[in-house]
Amino acid sequence: MNELKRRVDLLLRPVAKKLDAGKMELLGIRNTMQLAKRYNTFLYGPYQQARITAYRDRLEQLFRDNGSVPDSTRNLHVDGFALDTSMSLPYLEELLTEADQVIEERGGISDVDDRYRAFFRNIIQVRDLNRWPSFLNFITSSEALAPVCHYLGMIPALSKTLPTGVRFVESGKHLDELSYLPPRDSQVFHIDPYDHPMVYVIVLLRDCGAKSGPFTWLPDSVSQDASNRLNYWSKGRPYRLEDEEIYSAADPEQTQRLIYPRGTVLYIDTSRCFHYGSRNGEEPRFQMMYGLTSVCRSDFSESYMPSFDYPLKPADSELRRMVLDRRYLP
């Protein structure tokens, strides 16, 4: 970003923060997302175009230089999500082993009394990615990235604002002094506005059953039909919708739940699929959550939120650098 654009962004920071406030209530979610996408394209368009061009012209070489050319069968184009239960993705075993270390050391405790969303806690920080390298090795492998690249039509980048791009999440009632309350916050159906499209990659670190508050979603086609019927994302409409309202426009039988064994991987576009999680978690749930977006987001968070850097090494492949560094240019 050149100096002129940097100054414009700094000048507009208070406006950007106001537009995002209250889940974009000032202009409405859809209007704000469209405006943010245009603004971020003004700021970061060359970075975005470089990622589109790299996907179109050099993807196989990028994969090869990153270790392998995958033969992926995971296709998010079907209905906004894809499941991998093969346990065969690179670095998955290492990730699960290192996850056990984190759970042993940090599970069940927290340094913060977060009454806003105590039921859902990220128990690692960016500096921990050096200590447990498999967390980045997994998501930057060619095989893990391939479905995301093909779905987005570009080389994605890990988010550095909302959501945090790499989270090790523990959730459950055991963390929440207010668990007697009705479902709240991310326990209630919603569609993410951070970028459109975007992809979450969720890895179960323990077997997840019905009592663990499993991640729950509606497929893309069902969600979009319900969204249209309910006039979702329009100005004045709430960001989170109760079950009764959702199921007035969607068949409950279409509901999907991530009730699967440890090591299961879910790819899902949370900007198109209604979803919630961590509801009624009688048993602890542990999962990795990776947020992958374009570099021209559909919100203004990069204009006012503090950022950070993912660890990079001189020997990192170009593909890995592109995923970890949102401002990388070939």
Helices 3-11 and 29-65, axial angle in degrees (round to 10): 140
In the chain, DSSP assigns E strands to 81-84, 120-122, 157-158, 166-171, 199-204, 216-217, 256-257, 265-268, 275-276, 285-293
- In angstroms, the CA 46 to CA 134 distance is 31
| 118 — pLDDT class (breaks 50, 70, 90) | confident
Hunting for tokens 């959550």 — which residue is that? 289
pLDDT computed for residue 111 by the predictor = 59
pLDDT computed for residue 330 by the predictor = 87
Residue 241 within a domain: yes
- Report the percentage of the chain scoring pLDDT > 70: 97
pLDDT computed for residue 109 by the predictor = 80
Q: How are beta strands 275-276 and 120-122 bridged, if at all?
A: unpaired
Name the average pLDDT for the chain: 96
Residue 69 within a domain: yes
Q: What is the pLDDT of residues 75-93, one digit of tens each?
A: 888 899 999 999 999 999 9
Residue 92 within a domain: yes
Residue 329 within a domain: no
What's the one-letter identity of residue 284? P
pLDDT computed for residue 76 by the predictor = 84
Beta bridge partners of 166: 290
Residue 330 within a domain: no
- In angstroms, the CA 262 to CA 87 distance is 9
Q: How many CA atoms lie within 13 A of 301 on its CB side?
A: 21
Backbone angles phi, psi at 278, to 5 degrees: 60, 25
Ordered DSSP codes for 89-109? STTHHHHHHHHHHHHHHHTT-
- Looking at the predicted structure, is the pLDDT value of residue 94 above 80? yes
Maximum CA pair distance of the chain? 54
Q: What is the pLDDT of residues 167-217, one digit of tens each?
A: 999 999 999 888 999 999 999 999 999 999 999 999 999 999 999 999 999
Domain residues for the domain of 152 are 3-324
CATH number at 307 reads: 2.60.120.620
Residue 191 within a domain: yes
- Looking at the predicted structure, is the pLDDT value of residue 116 above 60? no
Q: Torsion over CA of 304, 310, 314 and 317, rounded to 10 degrees?
A: -100
Residue 172 within a domain: yes
- Split into its structural domains, the chain has a count of 1
- In angstroms, the CA 276 to CA 186 distance is 6
Residue 49 within a domain: yes
- What is the end-to-end Cα distance of the chain in Å, rounded? 15
